[in-house]
Amino acid sequence: MMGKITFYEERNFQGRSYECMSDCADMSSHMSRSQSCRVESGCFMVYERNNYMGNQYFMRRGEYRDMNRMMSMGMMFDNIRSCRMIPYHRGQFRMKIYERENFGGQSYDLMDDCDNVQDRYRMSDCQSCNVMDGHWLMYEQPQYRGRMMYMRPGEYKSFRDMMSGQRFMSMRRITDMC
């Protein structure tokens, strides 16, 4: 299933637009800024900086008329510079989380959402992980709050290297077909 997102330079879907159906590492060649967008199908992560860097936000099917208003709903920035399409995953979800960087300390296997690492596993910190199956969102605070990061299958040795001092306290599977 293909995804489709359209970005607009101005609020309320005004100004120049850029239609995207895959990953885009740098939108600056298409438009100077993005103040609104419409996700017609699929799910996307949008990023505040080029090359999928900086704060990020998960977007599912819907209309986003004003990026400034999105900030009150948890988005930590008001302009989108890059985006990544999230493929729909069929099958099981598996991730191993570790207390310390480089896969050290306590570890636990996850196959479902975890709203609070400390309450569930008595783990005060989560500094690295290995995503075996599925696509996940990890959040800096319990109950899926705070800054988030998209994790696709792969090894993540240090969250600190990925996002300055970042640690994660809750994680959720991306199960949406959007």
DSSP letters along 97-120, please?
EEEEGGGEEEEEEESS-BS-HHHH
Q: What pLDDT does 45 receive? A: 95
Nearest residue to 59 via CA among 129, 74, 164? 74
Nearest residue to 111 via CA among 124, 125, 98, 97? 97
- Is pTM beyond 0.85? Reply is yes
Residue with tokens 């590492």: 25
Alpha carbons within 13 A on the beta-carbon side of 112: 2
CB 57 within 8 A of CB 70: yes
Q: What pLDDT does 159 receive? A: 86
- Please report, in tens digits, the pLDDT of each residue of the chain (178 residues total): 589 999 999 999 999 999 999 999 999 989 988 889 999 999 999 998 899 988 889 999 999 998 777 765 666 676 789 999 999 898 999 999 999 999 999 999 999 999 999 999 999 889 999 999 999 999 989 999 988 899 999 999 998 877 666 678 999 999 976 5
Residues 126, 131, 134, 136: what is their CA dihedral angle, to the nearest 10 degrees? 30
Alpha carbons within 13 A on the beta-carbon side of 155: 5
Pairing of strands 43-49, 82-86: antiparallel
Q: What pLDDT does 164 receive? A: 63
Count how many residues are written for the chain: 178
